[in-house]
Every structure is written in C-alpha cells, then in structure tokens.
Amino acid sequence: MIIQGPKRVAYFLPNTFTALNMACGFASIIFAMKGNFYIACLLLLLGAIFDMVDGRVARLTGTQSLFGEQFDSISDVVSFGMAPALLMYLKFFTEMGRFGVIVPFIYLLCGALRLARFNANIDKVTSDFFQGLPIPGAALGVIGFILASTEFSFGPWASYIAAAYAVGYGFLMISNIPFASFKNSEFVKKNKRKVLAIIFLTFSLILLYEQVMILGVISVYVLSCLIYDVVKRKEMATIFDWKEEDEV
C-alpha cells in the first residue's frame, strides 16, 4: 500500500529529525578536525535535542516503525558514538600512541554494543528504567568534560583523567545498572509544574554556563542513579532478567 497525503508527511517527519541528528554528528566531526572543539560539542548537544524530538514526534503521530528504530540507532552511532570518540582522541590522545587510539575505540565499541542490546531487547525493557546508561547520556558526559577542559585546566594529568572518564562512561553503557527514564515517574506526574520549572531553569543555566552545566547535569544524573542502584540493590537485582519464550 502506497502512503499518500498527510500520512506520508507524518511518516517522513520523525525520520527528518533523525537525519538532522546524524548531520549534527557529521558536522561535529568536521569542526573537531579543524580544532574547533567548542562548536563541535555544541553541535552534538543540538543532535541530542533532535534525538529526543524524533521519538516523541513518532509517538505523537502514531508513525513508529522498525525502519525508524534502526535508522535512529545508526544515527546515534555516528552522533553519540563516533563523534564523541573522535573528539576525545583529537583533544586528548593524539600524543599517546596506541593507547590513545584504544581508549576512544573502547567508548565507541561500548556505545555500539549498548545500541545493539537495546534493539535486541526493545520489547522487553521496562519503560521506567534504561538498561545501562543511554548513549546520548554518555555522549553528553563526554562533551561536558571537553567543554569544561576548554574553560579550566586539568594540568598534566588531563589525558589520563579523560581516558578514565571515557572508559568509565563506556562501561556504564554496557552495564546492567538501571538508569531512570522518568517516563512513568509518579513524582513527575504529581509535580508537573515543578518539574517543568526545573527543566526550564536547567536549560537556562546550560545556555548561560554551558562549559560547566552540561558536565554538572549529567554527573548529577549518573551519580544519583548509581546511588539509587546501591540503595535499592535487592529490589532492582532482577529487573533486567528475562525468561526466554518457549520455542514453538
């Protein structure tokens, strides 16, 4: 059946935002190769916004599709896997030989594995929690660190701190640690106005102090989820344990 008219536009719209996300990742790589890390990081931030929009547009228009899911994952590999890895390499690891190549590759590999696992378990994962840190979150952590490094000096240990940071975020992506999605949060439902005010305040502070706020926001999110996992370890231990369906 050929889709025509408004419905055809509706199917095209979410994939347009996905393509814009990929375009931001590609442009970020270009700017990083030219040494403009500030613009490269902001482009990835814009890509993360497009990534949030495409899924919501698809749900609002009722145009979710297997093609859209796969296209979104491919786009995420470019924008939140390859681009941040290359930014980290060009910013911190060019003088570190093979070690400098391996570290960003570990981050990229973990990001690809995270997306592959997500696609494989997309019908099983609870909507309340992500299994491991989502790759856009890891990318925001990386660009937050890079932006902070453009404002503050980390001294002679900057490359080693960056290496630990990149590998750490890589392992968080492939971990079984539950990260809150807030999709069905009772707190959000009961305090919509307060949550909306917090979101606007956070975005305002990011616009004013992006060099520190992006790193600060993602660090608070990650640390709070890690603390929650420790406190609720027994309750959350089996949240991602699925029984395989009996073969017919």
Distance (Å) of CA 170 to CA 95, 97, 173: 22, 20, 5
What is the mean pLDDT of the segment spanning 63-87? Answer: 89
Q: pLDDT, tens digit, for every residue of 148-174?
A: 988 888 888 889 999 999 999 999 999
Angle between helices 37-61 and 66-76 (to 10 degrees): 170
Q: What is the pLDDT of residue 5?
A: 46
Percent of the chain whose pLDDT exceeds 70: 85
Going from the N-terminus, what domains does the chain have, and what CATH number goes with each? Answer: 9-236 (1.20.120.1760)
What is the mean pLDDT of the segment spanning 119-131? Answer: 76
Q: Indicate whether 64 pLDDT > 80.
A: no
113/156: higher pLDDT: 113
pTM of the complete model: 0.86
Phi, psi of 15 (to 5 degrees): -70, -25
The three state secondary structure string of 187-229 is HHHHCHHHHHHHHHHHHHHHHHCHHHHHHHHHHHHHHHHHHHH
Contact in structure between 165 and 218 (CB atoms under 8 Å): no
What is the mean pLDDT of the segment spanning 92-109? Answer: 93
The two beta strands, 129-131 and 178-180, are antiparallel
